Amino acid sequence: MADPRTEAFAQTAKTIINQLERHGMEGYFCETSADAVELVRKLVPEGASVAWGGTATFAQTGVKAMLKAGNYRMIDRSVAKTPEEAEAIYQQHFASDCFFMSTNAITRKGELVNIDGNSNRLACLLYGPREVYVLAGMNKVVEDVDAGIKRIHTMACPPNAARLHTGTPCERTGVCGNCHEDGCMCCNIVVTRHNRHTGRIKVILIAEDLGY
């Protein structure tokens, strides 16, 4: 590990992982996305059912491609042809063996900070799937919860709004308008500070800039 940036990330990740473990969550650090792919390959048993929320990181890392090519049952909402089929697939997410997501921010104290619109992603984080895998680039690390919410409003919501064409102020102006519009992505704010079901939530920190 010769890169000073990676070395610094490793030390920060170590601090966060220690906090996660105190809070009932497992933590891992990977220098690269390729390392994260191999870690997931070891952690997820063959034959497991796999679902995922809205996450760019899942695809960017190569984890999604690895799982799709392997012996896993992928619960893919993108194959739905009608709203009714999509809803049925959403319901299957809650019974999945492994649910993959990223986090909008993670604090140095090991708190996950997330904002969501439809909130299916957050619902599965909170309850349902047997295991939840949180893939997060080190660009998601913030000092505290307030900094996490600020990061989401300034760094995550505008590009996500542009990607999803929400029609919200953050798409039109690039700045959060604290809106209540139909396409609002900030319907629910969830801070995961502790997990009573030890080991259910597994956070994989990756020394790369990933996601939004």
pTM: 0.94
For the stretch 24-61, pLDDT in tens is 999 999 999 999 999 999 999 999 999 999 899 999 99
DSSP letters of 193-211? ---SSTTSEEEEEESS---
Angle at 7 between CA 58 and CA 107, to 5 degrees: 55
Give dist(CA 120, CA 22) in Å, integer. 27
DSSP state of 62: S
Supply the mean pLDDT for the chain.
94
Q: Please tell me the predicted confidence (pLDDT) of residue 2.
A: 65
Whether the pLDDT of residue 80 is over 60: the answer is yes
What count of Cα atoms within 13 Å lies in the side-chain half-sphere of residue 169?
10
Cα–Cα distance for residue pair 177/157, rounded to 1 Å: 11
pLDDT exceeds 60 at position 1: no
Give the pairing type, strands 188-192 and 112-116.
antiparallel
State how far the Cα of 212 lies from the Cα of 69, in Å rounded to an integer.
Answer: 25
Smallest CA-to-CA distance from 42 within 19, 17, 70, 18 is with 70
pLDDT grade for 178, boundaries at 50, 70 and 90: confident
Identify which has the larger pLDDT, 1 or 81.
Answer: 81
- The C-alpha atoms of residue 78 and residue 175 are separated, in whole angstroms, by 29
